[in-house]
Amino acid sequence: MTPANPLKCPKCSSEQLYKDGMRYLKNGEAIQRYLCRDCGYRFSDPNKTRKQKLNRLDMFQHASKIQTLILNPSSAFFYNCQGSREAPRRAPSAPKAVQTLAEVETRTEKRAAGATPISQTIQPHIKSKLVEFAWWMKKEGYKEITITGKVKRLKRLIRLGANLLDPESVKEVIASQNWNDSGKETTVYAYDSFVKWLGLKWERPRYKAVRKLPFIPHEQEINDLIASCNKRITCFLQILKETGARPGEVFILKWIDVDLEGKTLIITPEKRSNPRIFKISSKLVNMLSGLRKGDERVFAVYSTLKSLTVSFQRQRRKAAFRLGNPRLLRISFRTFRHWKATMEYHRTKDILHVMEVLGHRNIKNTLIYTQLVKAEGDEEYICKVAKTVEQAAELIEAGFDYVCEISGVRLFRKRK
């Protein structure tokens, strides 16, 4: 039986929710948490988040419990991660305050003797340097995603024990990690920018990522995945399929860049590439028309691209299990870009056209798709027949190419 007032997501008003654990208050009350299946927003049950007014007896018992935990921690009960109550732990030989004071005095003596570890004296200074480094990159015109990625790599080196002021220490930490060459190369480039900013000298390690051919699925697999997602993710994937744009470029797409009447869509470049304009299908126009237009961006219901990615990955797993096709798990947002470029070169054999579609400025980045075409070998086609103008128009919108006319009918074909 459907409740009178069903619970809805406070961000996108969707009723498709998952139960996502419990939230425990200080008074021991448990509140259900929910996860929106559409936008990935996590929130608590709004009907139970109001603080209940405690009576005098409850207030006294709550204050007494806090006072007992502070003044006599050895007699307090402890709880394990499963929430079961354990017996009181054994009291330490010396009060906690005395132990803390002794530790402080010991650290002070070590610092005075010059025995303080580097991580305790230099690393706070390095973290402040990271803020200055990020601001410098911002002033130099680096993209926000580039700044975030480099600072994240440097913070990871700090957590692993590297001293960013000592290049040899950074080399040792990177060499000792069980990362692939791609991850090591990216980390080295991030640290290389930091070293240049500081004015230090170092010899960059020779890590080179192994370039692999991207995974190209069949069009039917892409269509099955698109049909298995919710309407927002479906529209996002359909734009990726028809334009071959980067996921970040589609994520920042604004309604002002969409012309539903003229069936055109403008892609604003994310990474110093060229802007593009595409003719979109009637199917995509209907999808966009069904979305909410109250925000400036088309996909503003998702706060970040990561939250959209998490929602897509969850729906992708369900689709792969339901259809019994594990190849769907290999399809990512970037896969649509690779598929679009491969199909365009299949159709036109014009590498400059593919370069223009992808927005590349360097043709070397586009030449890889010629290798994908050669690797596929024999070409297989789907043949369709059109007897009327309407049927021919539908086939052209579906991606079929006109071949010839025989006995008053037109033949169209499309690669599988």
Higher pLDDT residue, 69 or 322? 322
- The stretch 145-163 carries a mean pLDDT of 90
pLDDT value for 280: 92
pLDDT value for 321: 94
pLDDT value for 222: 94
pLDDT value for 284: 94
- The stretch 18-33 carries a mean pLDDT of 80
Mean pLDDT for all residues in the chain? 79
pLDDT, one tens digit per residue, over 226-242 is 999 999 999 999 999 99
Q: Say how far apart CA 23 and CA 78 lie, in whole Å.
A: 19
pLDDT value for 12: 81
Q: What is the pTM of this model?
A: 0.59
**CATH fold label, 121-198:** DNA polymerase; domain 1 (1.10.150)
pLDDT, one tens digit per residue, over 238-284 is 999 999 999 999 999 999 999 999 999 999 987 778 889 999 999 99
pLDDT value for 168: 92
pLDDT value for 257: 93
pLDDT at 23 > cutoff 90: no
Among 351, 353, 413, smallest CA distance to 386 is for 413
The residues near 205 (Cβ < 8 Å, ≥ 6 apart) are 171, 174, 175, 184, 188
Count of alpha carbons within 13 Å of 337, Cβ hemisphere only?
19
Higher pLDDT residue, 396 or 40? 396
Percent over 70 (pLDDT), the chain: 77
354-390 b/e (C-beta count within 10 Å ≥ 16 → b): bbebbbbeeeeebeebeebbeeeeeeeeeebebeeee
| CATH tag for 219-375 (out of 1.10.443.10, 3.40.30.10, 3.40.50.720, 1.20.59.20) | 1.10.443.10
- The stretch 316-327 carries a mean pLDDT of 94
pLDDT value for 345: 85
Would you list the domain boundaries of the chain? 1-50, 121-198, 219-375, 381-415
| Cα–Cα distance list, 152 to 131, 147, 149, 159, 187 (Å) | 12, 8, 5, 11, 9
